[in-house]
Amino acid sequence: MSETRRSALTLLLGAAAAVGTGAIGYGVMRIFGERGKSVQGAFDLSDLAPGELQRFSVSDRPFAVFHAPGDGLLAYYLTCTRAGCALQMSDDNTSWACPCDEARFALDGEPISGPVPRKLDRVPVRFDGMVLMAPSALGPVEAVT
């Protein structure tokens, strides 16, 4: 093998090693960087069965965490995306109803009927398994019974 081919091969292997090391480092930083963010509240939701929800409030703004069968945990504000009114649980406990414009939302936040422009707005929280992790920037989070 000639000296130029050997030099080119060495350079190529060095570049590949540098890219691989950078990719691994980036992945490690994403994992540990996310866990290192300031968390002001953690709520264990392991008792929340698929199809059930738990209500919370953040700075007096209501939101719900719904255990969607097959999709895991979803967190969304309980505010109508059209009228801005606080949603109420329907009489049959199967959907959310807006008292202002009669819009209805499924328990997973998807629109069912009425003049609804989009699904319910998501709450910027993360989940570590079945534990709700509320970032400090969100404000004080409280469970609502």
CA pair distance 62, 19, nearest whole angstrom:
46
Same domain, 9 and 43: no
Same domain, 57 and 126: yes
Same domain, 31 and 78: no
Which pLDDT band holds residue 29 (cuts at 50, 70, 90)? very low
Same domain, 125 and 90: yes
- CA 142 vs CA 44, 86, 96, 130, 131: distances in Å: 13, 17, 20, 17, 14
* Among 3, 54, 56, 35, residue whose Cα is nearest residue 128: 35
Which pLDDT band holds residue 49 (cuts at 50, 70, 90)? very high
Mean pLDDT of 113-132: 89
* 58 vs 13, residue with greater confidence: 58
Share of the chain above pLDDT 90, in %: 37
8 Å CB contact between 144 and 62: yes
Same domain, 30 and 53: no
Same domain, 74 and 32: no
* Among 135, 142, 120, residue whose Cα is nearest residue 40: 135
Which residues touch 99 (CB under 8 Å, ≥6 apart)?
85, 86, 88
Check pLDDT > 70 for residue 132: yes
Q: Looking at residue 31, what is its pLDDT?
A: 36
Q: What is the CATH number of the domain that holds 60?
A: 2.102.10.10
Same domain, 29 and 46: no
Same domain, 77 and 10: no
CA pair distance 75, 99, nearest whole angstrom:
21
If one counts the domains in the chain, the total is: 2
Domain span at residue 135 reads 39-144
- Which strands form 141-144's sheet, in the order they lie side by side? 72-77, 61-68, 53-58, 141-144
Same domain, 49 and 93: yes
Same domain, 47 and 110: yes
Query: Has this prediction a pTM greater than 0.75?
Result: no
